[in-house]
Amino acid sequence: MQPLEFDSLSYRSGSSRVFLISGELHYFRVPREGWRDRLEKLKAAGGNCVATYVPWLLHEPEEGRFDFDTPQYDFDAFLTLCREVGLWAVVRPGPYQYSELLNAGLPTWLLKDYPDVRARRLDGRLIDMPFSISYLHPLFLEKTRRWFEQVVPRLVKHQVSRGGAVAAVQIDNELMGIHEWFGSWDYHPAAMGVGLENGRWSDFLRRRYATLDALNQAWAAQCPSWAGALPIDQEEPATTAEHRRLKDYNDFYFEAAGEYMALLGGWLRELGVDAPLIHNSGGPGMNAYFESSVRRMGGNFLLGSDHYYNLGLDWGDGTHPTPKYASKIFFSLEMLRHLGYPPTVFELPGGSAMDFPPITGPDIECAYLANLAYGMKGYNIYVFAGGANPPGAADPLVGMTVYDYGAGISPTGELRELYAVQKKVAEFIHARPWLPGARRQADCRLGLVREYCRSPHYGMDSAALPVSNYAAWTLMRKGMMMSAFCASLSPEMTDLSADDWLDDTTTPLMLACGSSMERSLQEKLLRFVQHGGKLLLAPALPSLDEHFAPCTLLADGLPAQRGEPAVWDACTGQAIGWETGFAGGGSLILLERSWVMGRHWDAAMLRGALERLGCRPIVECSNPNVWTSLLSDGEHSQLFLMNFFTAPFTVRVRCRLPGSSTWVDAGEHTLPGVSVKPVDLNLPAD
Amino acid sequence: MQPLEFDSLSYRSGSSRVFLISGELHYFRVPREGWRDRLEKLKAAGGNCVATYVPWLLHEPEEGRFDFDTPQYDFDAFLTLCREVGLWAVVRPGPYQYSELLNAGLPTWLLKDYPDVRARRLDGRLIDMPFSISYLHPLFLEKTRRWFEQVVPRLVKHQVSRGGAVAAVQIDNELMGIHEWFGSWDYHPAAMGVGLENGRWSDFLRRRYATLDALNQAWAAQCPSWAGALPIDQEEPATTAEHRRLKDYNDFYFEAAGEYMALLGGWLRELGVDAPLIHNSGGPGMNAYFESSVRRMGGNFLLGSDHYYNLGLDWGDGTHPTPKYASKIFFSLEMLRHLGYPPTVFELPGGSAMDFPPITGPDIECAYLANLAYGMKGYNIYVFAGGANPPGAADPLVGMTVYDYGAGISPTGELRELYAVQKKVAEFIHARPWLPGARRQADCRLGLVREYCRSPHYGMDSAALPVSNYAAWTLMRKGMMMSAFCASLSPEMTDLSADDWLDDTTTPLMLACGSSMERSLQEKLLRFVQHGGKLLLAPALPSLDEHFAPCTLLADGLPAQRGEPAVWDACTGQAIGWETGFAGGGSLILLERSWVMGRHWDAAMLRGALERLGCRPIVECSNPNVWTSLLSDGEHSQLFLMNFFTAPFTVRVRCRLPGSSTWVDAGEHTLPGVSVKPVDLNLPAD
């Protein structure tokens, strides 16, 4: 087999661009006699890869006693079979698996015999969830290292480089989820060094502030020592100093997570892994938490994300893909693209963790095609086939005897409705071998300030920060992005921490702007409009820098007057946007705060404002509730029409193909409720 | 016009049973020149009633200055017009309106000049939302009384009894919502008397405990005085004493709300209202909060509930009616029936408070028919037509210039998609004049312990209360009820505080049982099984009484052995239910805690267990995801097939008509995603 490689556009195998189509199959759950059958069915459904956890819980049942021989746990035989069937394999040896396993996959002896590894809140209390541990706790690391020393060599020998199937190795699982979802970041002294004169936290503060005086000034505090420089755990910061102190721990936590990830990655390399290392962000909202991790991991590493829409009755926003799901996967895939990876969904729903409500065929078809439409280049169906949980291995909080997920293949090997849909989608992809090399076409840009996305735990509005980082993020998603979709605009997200976007003075840029914005970005934006760039900015100009210190660099560079009225409220007729033109051809529309921050905007208003800034929309769709996305590799084009509502809609669509300025009639289409319709557009441009 | 009357089965008008079909039209928003047009369109759509708020905010713009003359605010003319068009009118003079009005409809001067009226948390801080006031604050009551003295006489003269249109008057709006939704019950000393030696709270405690010693014993506390007997505000109670102390304030709060409601109701009567008084619970989960209110209000009063499924992007569980919505409206309508009222939805969605996501025709058709299927006997569409908010009257947190809701009629009077659906549903109802007199048919019973539903703010699991009241409520809804629907069972809910259910020894009763259960109910249940009753109980027998004092009356009355294995887990084959037979023919199946509390059950297992207890199902549907409900008046029958998923399903259905034991083939039906299909069943029973 060829190794699994990738560049910033797609996966590669030898000289070909390929789409990664993987299915999650747990050798420890699927009955052993069914392994070959399931792998063959995966291949028959268009898959080229299989993914599995390798649970620490099962393979080290007592400390120091390893079990790699129980027939149901014999991953050696399983991986040999993967090679025989001709599937790449992604292995996920932890230390965490989650996977609805007891202790999220950690051995029971670890939690029982080493209770100090459990994560702590700021006040010293344990985080409620018993399996929420402190990643950098020396004891946890020591035990993890021993587990890796046992398991990794057994995986390494199956690598593609050695003639086997293992094409990628996953580090841990949904890093930070165990803290994010259970109420608190980790503040364990032994790991995070909180309260220590010399520890990770004080080292971080020394790097950031150099002196205790500087720190005390920044925090408006009187910390007597580095050990006494404690984080705060305050729901509603009132001052810039409090915002700063909260954000410091947030930044530190993400760095510590990156340190942990890099440590594990180093061990994997040391133990012989030459295949790509991968990791799965727990969901779209967490992608931005991995900035430090990604920086530390460097090359031959790939971050993907998990895109569920419903794992049970109380999970998510509905029983099927909704407009909210669509907006989340859009920004998730765009963020992964920004990081230089082919956007990959390492857990794309293949069922639900709960028996009810069910995941249906039309639902997953809609979800898969929506991910494809928004730029996904690889996916792993979680789960593709299930089986009984090994004795005592089920998480009692979930309580599944059979770990089934209502997957496309039943525990006894029967094909179900979802299988046919999964096969159909894979066939759609294989029939278009140009898809891996295609790019989403865009007619406008949405500025991404990654810090805004990282801010849910520190970024609350206050008198000191009238538009918090998190409010700006909300405005971007629910105001600009979703309104742009309703206007049948085709935004791409622009990573504003890069510089390449500055040169494009044709495609207008929208930016939801917090009170705080990096000094360097304020400077770049000013340069952008002064050199021909077209910018739509809401709801107000920033007044603080990234450290919440006064900074009006952008505002100071603009004319004192707020420009010409340029955008009007459709209801009241009042001006809500003012345009300032610049000598170099640049233009700025400042859309003032005249709406509710988290609210949807008038789509026609937004489209009008962007057209005023020179936007030339590439799609026109007659119904604002049908969203569109256009993929093209220059030769072939595919338009996706997406209906995330339950009502059927009939639409008339036209679009402009890449390189052409004329409209092509894309026809009239009726979309059932909750469906995505791909439209082939290989028409001669007239 | 005939007055609007009601009995426990339906509304009545003269000698006829009628269905109440109302539309919300705000005279202060719908342009005055459009009043007649909208009212006529409402009537043409099958409506027989119109509802409107009468906002204090607009009619008393400055304290003591009343405005009833501004043409747009002239409800006198509006109500005259209602009479002319031939529609009943429901008027809602507050004091609260909510209605996305500034201050939720309270005058600005009230909040500004009398800031002490704002509701307080236990620690004395204000509840965040500025319009959240303390209902029983003397100043608030004084100002409300003055408002009533002005407005009520102006409404009274339009009553049906005086030849006008006003058929019902609503007291306040979604009582308790202003505390429930904004983080805290109210603890204001001036209203609730918290911290006072003689105040409402200490009076309540004296009634409950008589002596301070008894109180201190119950609370395991050393309160030095009645004034010092403070409530606790603890998230995780650890002892029965803490549970008791938390519950005491919960009980007290509901009583105080009842006192407020009764006070306003008394004023309305005193000021001449002879029409029924009504109130709208803020939603299904709040219905049980009104037990004290209902008791105090007595006759010629009717409680309804508001049944929204989506008021904006971040609201509810999806963009359309989901299985969760269905389960909520079911228990809501059943609770209203228990109270002796024709189940009425005073706010049934006619659009959304937000522009996006939209409410579509198929969605509302599904929602309306589902409410009908589960026993609704009257509804008010909120809103039926909108218009511009009066200047300065819009709630800035919602920010709508035009209060439109995307309603069936546009602000300028054009008919939209929703209108046709609303008309179609009303025509469906009018074509079946027997519907008001019909009853839902049932084949099994779900026991309702109203206290369990009242418990979200005090009922957490603890070592002292292993199955909290709220956990029992969750188990009932998500375990028993939804699983019963998936088993195509037709449960009715049984109010266990009544006694009439004891005589039915044929229809099995299911009961989700908390650790705490009223002594009197334990006694009744024991009597029930000893006298022939069939009971399925989960997850364990109660060990405490309603005051969390030890009480094993039920367990003590049962044989010491747990009975014969009778129910088995489908996956493991292990016994999970044990049956005990009684001499009088009664039977108890105890279904042990072998599943996760909030999880769905195996529908076949549940159906099997109930059939073992003698259940004779009245419907069989080939797909567990299609839920059913059968209405009949004895002569006519209507079966509803309900699909709350987005996938279409095809089902084969048969049912037994009332009074018959043979199956009638109800045919094969394909249901689109998110739809309800009514099936006429007036077939000869063969």
- Residues 169-228 (B) with a CB less than 8 A from some CB of A: none
| For range A474-501, the mean pLDDT | 94
When scoring A29, A121, A319 by the number of chain B Cβ atoms within 10 A, the one with the most, hence best to mutate, is A319
pLDDT category of residue B601 using cuts at 50, 70 and 90 = confident
- How many Cβ contacts (< 8 angstroms) between chains A and B? 127
Backbone angles phi, psi at A265, to 5 degrees: -60, -40
Instruction: Say which CATH number the domain at B70 has.
Output: 3.20.20.80
Q: For chain A, how many residues are written?
A: 686
Please report which helix (H) or strand (E) contains residue B41, including its range.
helix B35-44
Q: Note whether A572 contacts B: Cβ–Cβ < 8 A.
A: yes
State yes or no: pLDDT of B598 exceeds 70. no
Q: What Cα–Cα distance (Å) separates residue A69 from each residue in A65, A75, A166, B421, B491?
A: 12, 9, 20, 64, 51
Q: Note whether A360 contacts B: Cβ–Cβ < 8 A.
A: yes
Tell me the average pLDDT of chain A. 94
Judged on CB neighbours under 10 Å (0-12, 13-18, 19+), A207 is exposed
Residue A196 lies in a domain: no
| For range A178-197, the mean pLDDT | 95
Cβ atoms of residues A524 and A503 within 8 Å = no
The ipTM, to two decimals, is: 0.89
Are A664 and A579 within one domain?
no
Q: Note whether B602 contacts A: Cβ–Cβ < 8 A.
A: yes
| For range A648-652, the mean pLDDT | 96
Closest-CA residue to A411 (of A153, A7, A32): A32
Is A322–B319 a contact, with Cβ atoms under 8 angstroms apart?
yes
Are A42 and A71 within one domain?
yes
Closest-CA residue to A471 (of A462, A250, B213, A209): A462
pLDDT category of residue B141 using cuts at 50, 70 and 90 = very high
Is B317–A317 a contact, with Cβ atoms under 8 angstroms apart?
yes
State yes or no: pLDDT of A610 exceeds 70. yes
Q: Number of structural domains, chain B?
A: 3
State yes or no: pLDDT of B686 exceeds 50. no
Closest-CA residue to B375 (of B349, B347, B341, B421): B341
Percentage of chain A beyond pLDDT 70 is 98
For residue A593, what pLDDT is reported?
66
State yes or no: pLDDT of B645 exceeds 70. yes
Are A426 and A452 within one domain?
no
For residue B317, what pLDDT is reported?
66
| Residue-wise pLDDT tens digits, A223-250 | 999 999 999 987 788 899 999 999 999 9
State yes or no: pLDDT of B250 exceeds 80. yes
Residue that has been written with the tokens 């061990």 in this structure: A267
| For range B343-347, the mean pLDDT | 98
The span from the first CA to the last CA of chain B, in angstroms, equals 45
Q: How far apart are CA A372 and CA A435, in angstroms?
A: 9
Which DSSP category does A539 fall into? Answer: S
Angle at CA of residue A393, ends A387 and A398, nearest 5°: 80
Is A358–B401 a contact, with Cβ atoms under 8 angstroms apart?
no
For residue B316, what pLDDT is reported?
65
Which of the listed residues A614, A640, A664 is the one where a domain comes to its end? A614
Q: Note whether B125 contacts A: Cβ–Cβ < 8 A.
A: no
Residue A596: closest C-alpha in chain B: B399
Question: Which of A318, A572, A645 minimises the CB distance to B358?
Answer: A645
Residue A101 lies in a domain: yes
Which of the listed residues B590, B614, B638 is the one where a domain comes to its end? B614
Please give the structure tokens belonging to residue A40: 């063959």
Are B318 and B462 within one domain?
no
Domain membership of residue A632 as a residue range: 620-680
* Least confident span in A429-433, A573-577, B379-383: A573-577
State yes or no: pLDDT of A583 exceeds 80. yes
β-strands A387-388, A402-403 pairing:
antiparallel
Are A545 and A660 within one domain?
no
Question: Which of A572, A645, A674 minimises the CB distance to B357?
Answer: A645
Closest-CA residue to B28 (of B355, B388, B316): B388
Please report which helix (H) or strand (E) contains residue A325, including its range.
helix A323-338
CA B318 to chain A, closest CA, distance in angstroms equals: 4
Cβ atoms of residues B516 and B545 within 8 Å = yes
For residue A686, what pLDDT is reported?
42
Is B401–A644 a contact, with Cβ atoms under 8 angstroms apart?
no
- B320 contacts in chain A (CB < 8 Å): 318, 645-646
pLDDT category of residue A599 using cuts at 50, 70 and 90 = low
Residue B226 lies in a domain: no
Are A66 and A152 within one domain?
yes
State yes or no: pLDDT of B278 exceeds 60. yes
For residue B681, what pLDDT is reported?
85
Are A135 and A81 within one domain?
yes
Q: How far apart are CA A56 and CA A95, in angstroms?
A: 6
State yes or no: pLDDT of A316 exceeds 70. no
Three-state secondary structure call for residue A56:
helix
Residue A605 vs residue A491, higher pLDDT: A491
Three-state secondary structure call for residue A412:
coil
State yes or no: pLDDT of B682 exceeds 80. no
Please give the structure tokens belonging to residue A337: 């693209």
Residue B674 lies in a domain: yes
Are A41 and A103 within one domain?
yes
DSSP result, B136-184: T-HHHHHHHHHHHHHHHHHHHTTBGGGTSSEEEEE-SSSTTHHHHTTT-
Residue A323: closest C-alpha in chain B: B357
For residue B126, what pLDDT is reported?
95
Please give the structure tokens belonging to residue B545: 């009484």
Instruction: Say which CATH number the domain at B671 has.
Output: 2.60.40.1180
State yes or no: pLDDT of B596 exceeds 70. no
State the Cα torsion A47-A49-A50-A56 to the nearest 10°. -160
The span from the first CA to the last CA of chain A, in angstroms, equals 44
Question: Which of B355, B362, B572 minimises the CB distance to A600?
Answer: B355
Q: How far apart are CA B438 and CA A260, in angstroms?
A: 65
Residue that has been written with the tokens 């021909």 in this structure: A532
Which of the listed residues A564, A580, A614 is the one where a domain comes to its end? A614
For residue B379, what pLDDT is reported?
98
Please report which helix (H) or strand (E) contains residue A373, including its range.
helix A361-373
- Residues 443-502 (B) with a CB less than 8 A from some CB of A: 478, 482-483, 486
Residue A389 lies in a domain: yes
Is A318–B320 a contact, with Cβ atoms under 8 angstroms apart?
yes
| Residue-wise pLDDT tens digits, B292-332 | 999 999 999 999 999 999 877 776 667 789 999 999 999 99
Q: Note whether A77 contacts B: Cβ–Cβ < 8 A.
A: no
For residue B595, what pLDDT is reported?
59
Are B412 and B508 within one domain?
no
Q: How far apart are CA B530 and CA B191, in angstroms?
A: 48
pLDDT category of residue B455 using cuts at 50, 70 and 90 = very high
* Residues contacting B135, CB < 8 A, separation 6+: B175, B186, B191, B256, B257, B260
| Residue-wise pLDDT tens digits, A71-118 | 999 999 999 999 999 999 999 999 999 999 999 999 999 999 999 999
Question: Which of B396, B401, B648 minimises the CB distance to A572?
Answer: B401
Angle between helix B35-44 and B75-85 (nearest 10): 30
Are B139 and B162 within one domain?
yes
For residue A425, what pLDDT is reported?
98
Question: Which of B358, B483, B646 minimises the CB distance to A673?
Answer: B646
Q: How far apart are CA B94 and CA B145, in angstroms?
A: 11
Is B598–A357 a contact, with Cβ atoms under 8 angstroms apart?
no
Please give the structure tokens belonging to residue A270: 């040391």
DSSP strands (E only) in B386-503: 387-388, 402-403, 439-440, 444-448, 491-495
Three-state secondary structure call for residue B669:
strand
- Residues 396-415 (A) with a CB less than 8 A from some CB of B: 396-399, 401-402
DSSP result, A413-466: S-B-HHHHHHHHHHHHHHT-TTGGG-EE--SEEEEE-HHHHT-TTT----SS-S
Question: Which of A362, A399, A595 minimises the CB distance to B399?
Answer: A595
Are B674 and B591 within one domain?
no
When scoring A313, A572, A602 by the number of chain B Cβ atoms within 10 A, the one with the most, hence best to mutate, is A313
State yes or no: pLDDT of A25 exceeds 70. yes
When scoring A356, A395, A627 by the number of chain B Cβ atoms within 10 A, the one with the most, hence best to mutate, is A356
CA B312 to chain A, closest CA, distance in angstroms equals: 9
Which DSSP category does B320 fall into? Answer: S
This model's pTM is above 0.90: yes
Residue A78 lies in a domain: yes
Residue A355 vs residue B637, higher pLDDT: B637
Is B645–A324 a contact, with Cβ atoms under 8 angstroms apart?
no
Backbone angles phi, psi at B279, to 5 degrees: -150, 150
Closest-CA residue to B155 (of B303, B268, B61): B268
Are B384 and B513 within one domain?
no
Residue A685 lies in a domain: no
Q: Note whether B574 contacts A: Cβ–Cβ < 8 A.
A: no
- B366 contacts in chain A (CB < 8 Å): 646
Residue A148 vs residue B404, higher pLDDT: A148
Q: How far apart are CA A270 and CA A266, in angstroms?
A: 6
Is B596–A356 a contact, with Cβ atoms under 8 angstroms apart?
no
When scoring B100, B235, B311, B319 by the number of chain A Cβ atoms within 10 A, the one with the most, hence best to mutate, is B319
Residue A199 lies in a domain: no
State yes or no: pLDDT of B234 exceeds 90. no
- Residues 277-336 (B) with a CB less than 8 A from some CB of A: 313-314, 317-320, 322-324
pLDDT category of residue A685 using cuts at 50, 70 and 90 = very low
Backbone angles phi, psi at A590, to 5 degrees: -100, 115
Residue B364: closest C-alpha in chain A: A647
State yes or no: pLDDT of A529 exceeds 50. yes
Q: How far apart are CA A554 and CA B102, in angstroms?
A: 35
DSSP H stretches of helix in A123-198: 138-156, 177-180, 189-192
DSSP result, B192-210: H-TT-SSSHHHHHHHHHHS
Question: Which of B360, B625, B646 minimises the CB distance to A320?
Answer: B646
Q: Note whether A358 contacts B: Cβ–Cβ < 8 A.
A: yes
